[in-house]
């Protein structure tokens, strides 16, 4: 049994892999403290499955916080994403993982070798935080956004790409009497477009795996599907766990 822990900027996801199956999973807030997050995961594993650190063949850490944790194996984020994608879809040629602050798209050759990848560089447009930020003035939970947007009756185009300026634009739109549904739909469209721009930096081909928190959002998926013109496979059973799974299977760097 190997524990894979993906320490993201917002949340830490962990999976216990037994052979190649997910035996247990958990997700907690990282709170900017990677060591504490890993400790919390191990505690939860003990409490819920009575599995101790000593019972594990390995603990492999990946994601943003990996450098801050001692006494664990480490796996680069790109390698984790790829390994997780191939576990889900052995024929994967492109992988998109949309995180809280970082979106990453990777292109693979027919044998699953990495050919190239791209990330959003210095800019939060197209990241999960963007959605979180505007959910506040719209008083909507992140999980409900696609549902809310589905009731839109008008196409809105926001004038800004920036997550920070979008917040004020949303407030103005609300004040101008625009419906929350239309605004939400406009925002989701903006986020999707930013992600699509990122995807164009690599050679996107089928089969295309989508993962990360935003992959739960049907409105974003639909926009991606239409724009990229490839069949999308959402990482399952839950899209946030792609890196944790991949890290556990990859087993860490030598």
Partner 1 sequence: MSEAIIAKYPLFQRLDDVCTIADYLLTQGANDLEEVTDALISMCMTYPEHVVETGLLMNVEVLAASLKPKNRSHVHAHFMAIQKHLHDITDQMEAGKPLVAHFPSMTPEPFIAMDLAYMCAEQLSLYLVGALTDGVEEILDASEADGIPGHSCGFQRAPFKAMETGQLPMPDMFMCTTAPCNSSNMLYQMMMQRYDIPMFVCDSPYYWNDRSFDYFKEEYKRCLQGISELTGHTIDVDVLRERVEMSNRQLQYMYELQQLRRLKPNPDPGMHRAMDLAAWLMAGSNEECITYQKMCYDEAKARADKGLGVIPEGMKEIRTLHTYGWTAHFLSFPDWLEDELGSTELECGLSIYPGELVGLVDTTSLDTMLDGLAWRSFNAVMHRTVMTFSDLHIQDMVSVATEYDAEVALFAGNNTCKWGWTYPKMLTEALQDNLGIPCLTWETDLMDKRFRSPEDVKEMCREFFNTVRMSEA
Partner 2 sequence: MIFAGVDVGSLSAEAVLMEDDRLMAHSIITVKPNPVQSATIVMDEVLAETGLTQDDIAFCVSTGYGRERIPFAQHDISEISCHGKGAFWANGDVRTIIDIGGQDAKVIRIDTNGDLVDFVMNDKCAAGTGRFLEGIAKTFGLKVWDLGDLALAGGDPVPISSICTVFTNFDVMCFLAKGRSRADVALGVADALATRINRLVTSVGIEGGVAMTGGVAKNAGVVRSVEKVIGRKTCPLATDPQIIGAVGAALYARERYYKQQAAN
Which of partner 2, partner 1, none does 236 bind, CB closer than 5 to 8 A by kind?
A: none
What does each C-alpha distance from 173 to 85, 142, 145, 162 come to in angstroms?
Answer: 39, 19, 17, 16
**Least gap, CB of 167 to partner 2 (angstroms):** 8
Residue 114 near partner 1 by CB under 8 A: yes
Which of partner 2, partner 1, none does 250 bind, CB closer than 5 to 8 A by kind?
A: partner 1
| Tokens read off for 7 | 């320490």
Within 6-35, the residues that bind partner 2 by CB under 8 A are 9, 31-33
Which of partner 1, partner 2, none does 78 bind, CB closer than 5 to 8 A by kind?
A: partner 1
Residue 67 near partner 2 by CB under 8 A: no
Residue 82 near partner 1 by CB under 8 A: yes
Long-range CB contacts (within 8 A, 24+) of 53-59: 55/1, 56/1, 56/2, 56/3, 56/16, 57/1, 57/2, 58/2, 58/3, 58/248, 58/251, 58/252, 59/2, 59/3, 59/5
| Tokens read off for 242 | 């792609």
Report the run of H or E that residue 137 belongs to, with start and end. Answer: helix 128-138
Distance, CA of 185 to chain centre: 20
| Tokens read off for 73 | 């194996």
Residue 97 near partner 1 by CB under 8 A: no
Residue 118 near partner 2 by CB under 8 A: no
Cis preceding linkage at 231, omega within 30: no
Which of partner 1, partner 2, none does 164 bind, CB closer than 5 to 8 A by kind?
A: partner 2
Pick the closer one to partner 1 by CB: 86 or 227. Answer: 86
| Binder among 121, 139, 153, 176 for partner 1 (CB under 8 A) | 121
x-or-dash pattern for partner 1, window 148-187, by CB under 8 A? ----------------------------------------
Residue 123 near partner 1 by CB under 8 A: no
CA distance 120 to 109: 22
CA atoms within 13 A on the CB side of 229: 2
What is the residue whose two structure tokens read 């719209």?
A: 138
Residue 225 near partner 2 by CB under 8 A: no
Give the footprint of partner 2 on this chain (CB under 8 A): 9, 31-33, 101, 122-124, 127, 129-130, 133, 162-165, 168, 171-172, 174-176
């Amino acid at each position: 049994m190997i524990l894979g822990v993906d320490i993201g900027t917002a949340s830490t996801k962990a999976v216990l892999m037994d052979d190649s199956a997910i035996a247990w999973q958990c997700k907690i807030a990282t709170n900017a403290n990677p060591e504490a997050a890993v400790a919390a995961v191990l505690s939860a594993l003990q409490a819920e499955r009575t599995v101790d650190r000593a019972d594990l063949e390995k603990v492999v850490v990946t994601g943003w916080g990996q450098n801050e944790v001692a006494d664990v194996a480490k796996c680069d984020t790109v390698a984790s994403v790829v390994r997780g994608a191939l576990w889900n879809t052995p024929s994967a040629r492109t992988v998109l993982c949309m995180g809280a602050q970082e979106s990453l798209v990777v292109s693979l050759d027919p044998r699953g070798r990495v050919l190239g990848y791209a990330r959003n560089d210095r800019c939060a447009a197209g990241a999960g935080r963007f959605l979180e930020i505007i959910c506040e003035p719209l008083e909507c939970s992140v999980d409900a956004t696609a549902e809310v947007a589905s009731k839109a009756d008008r196409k809105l185009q926001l004038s800004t790409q920036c997550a920070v300026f979008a917040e004020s634009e949303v407030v103005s739109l609300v004040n101008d009497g625009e419906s929350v549904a239309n605004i939400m739909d406009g925002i989701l469209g903006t986020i999707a477009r930013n992600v699509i721009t990122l995807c164009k930096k690599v050679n996107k081909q089928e089969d295309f795996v989508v993962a990360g928190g935003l992959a739960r959002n049907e409105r974003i998926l639909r926009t991606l599907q239409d724009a990229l013109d490839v069949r999308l496979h959402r990482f399952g059973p839950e899209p946030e766990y792609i890196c944790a799974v991949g890290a556990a299977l990859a087993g860490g760097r030598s």
